[in-house]
Each structure stands twice: as structure tokens, then as C-alpha cells.
Amino acid sequence: MTRSASSASPPRSRWRASRPTPTFTQQGIDLVEGAYRGVAVPPETPDVIVEKLAATFAKINEDPAVVEQFKEQLFVLENMGPAEATAFTQERKAVYQGLFERLGML
């Protein structure tokens, strides 16, 4: 059996409501995180194909049945297009690089 020492999820998330583990923020660590999923293609993929994939996944993610399934599984569904996902990835990379540097891991 294991016991969680901390959680990176937001204090008011549905996941948090089911687990009495303090958040990192509540323990003085400025970190709120989640589990992110996405679709990647090789860099040389033509823009027309990238945009077609992005539109297809956006349409799927807007389907009420899909949204409900995500909610039932306690996932937060975030739709990001290619530019948004790239910017988000770079932002998360900077956060983790700073954290790893503070911890002496880099």
C-alpha cells in the first residue's frame, strides 16, 4: 500500500475532492499541475495536414458524450490548437526546468 505525500492538482478539482492529500501549494511549493495528453506529428508534416488533424480532434473533444466521459474519469478536457499547444509546452518546460534547477537536478 502506498500513501501520497502531496498532490499537484488544483485544490478544488474533482480528483482532489476524493483524496485527503495536501496540495503542493498548501505545503508552500508553487506548483499546480495536471496530466496532459496530445497528438504530435513529425516537424516536416505539411500545415494542411496539421490543421486537419487539429480540427478533427477539436470536433471530437467538443462532442457532449466525449466531454461527459472525460468528466466521469475526472479528466479536465482542454482543447489547444497547434500554436497554443506549442506555447503551452514551452511554458511547462520552463516551469520544470526552473524547478529541477532549484532542486539541484540540472
CA distances from 4 to 13, 21, 90, 92 (A): 16, 6, 28, 23
pLDDT in tens, 46-57: 999 999 999 999
Q: What is the DSSP letter of 24?
A: T
pLDDT in tens, 7-21: 566 655 555 555 677
Radius of gyration of the CA atoms of the chain, in A: 17
Which residue is associated with the grid cell 524547478? 99
